[in-house]
Amino acid sequence: MTNIEQSGTFQLGDRRVKRLGYGAMQLAGPGVFGPPKDREQAVAVLRAAVEAGVDHIDTSDFYGPHITNQIIHEALHPYSKQLTIVTKISARRGEKGEWLPAFSPPELKQAVHDNLRNLGLDVLEVVNLRSMLNPHHPVEGSLEAPLSAVADLQRQGLIKHIGLSNVTAKQVADAAKICKIVCVQNYYNLAHRDDDALIDDLALHGVAYVPFFPLGGFSPLQSSVLSEVSTRLGAPQMQVALAWLLRRAPNILLIPGTSSVAHLRENLGAAELVLDDAAIRALDAIGVAN
């Protein structure tokens, strides 16, 4: 399919994973709720990703809910020893698909057991605690109580490593006093670069940074710059945006998601895309302008 080895690797918990992984969110139905339109296609995408060399899959049991993890189990179990599955907890879905906080110790414990059951695992490799103080963007506030509950589950042997999602730099620093943090998953892309300093600090400490929404929230002007670069390079916009993220910092791990094998191939092609100096200057300027 493509050589994702060219993207390099970075440490994630006990393992070194290839920097271009796969996000399973789009395997559920519309709005990440309910079953996919084509379950066989969802299974095929997962198998194609692993066959292409992907060894890092990001998921959550509140995708569906339960459905995405069940599809991963169907497609890939028994799992390769090289495959690292990362999940996240602290939310649940309402009857109409609402995203609701599930932040109490009993809810977090239940979420861990749900992930274990649906993935068919005895222990979860990495669990990200997603801050639900504001579900849409990071806000300051203490995560001590929920994080301590997750750390207890780690001590019980249900979780190997802990990460954070939707958090501020201060929350990351505070969390490190409670337990070791192996990754941070936040909103970051060419145009939304509030975490620039955090990414660089995490890199110095060997902590992985996993951006989500690599094209989310672009304005028409910003998209036109990306479009111009993409046209000149003869590459799709998403592929260019992913290639820029791979160049941004060595600790960035990418988890682009798709329910299409063709789109999967396109995303993985970012590992081989070479950005020249002119392209990098133009793309860097998007974040400065923003």
Q: Any idea which residues carry the catalytic annotation? A: 63
Q: Which long-range contacts (CB under 8 A, 24 or more apart) does 169-178 make?
A: 169/195, 169/197, 169/198, 169/201, 170/140, 171/131, 171/138, 171/140, 171/141, 171/143, 172/198, 172/202, 174/142, 174/143, 174/144, 175/143, 175/147, 178/144, 178/147, 178/148, 178/151
Provide the CB-side half-sphere exposure for 10 (13 A, CA). Answer: 23
Structure tokens at 289: 């302008």
- Cβ(124)–Cβ(69) under 8 Å? no
Task: Provide the strand spans (E) within the chain.
Answer: 9-12, 15-18, 22-23, 56-58, 84-89, 91-93, 99-101, 124-130, 159-165, 181-187, 208-212
3-state secondary structure of 209: strand
End-to-end CA distance of the chain: 35
Q: Write the DSSP symbol of residue 33.
A: B
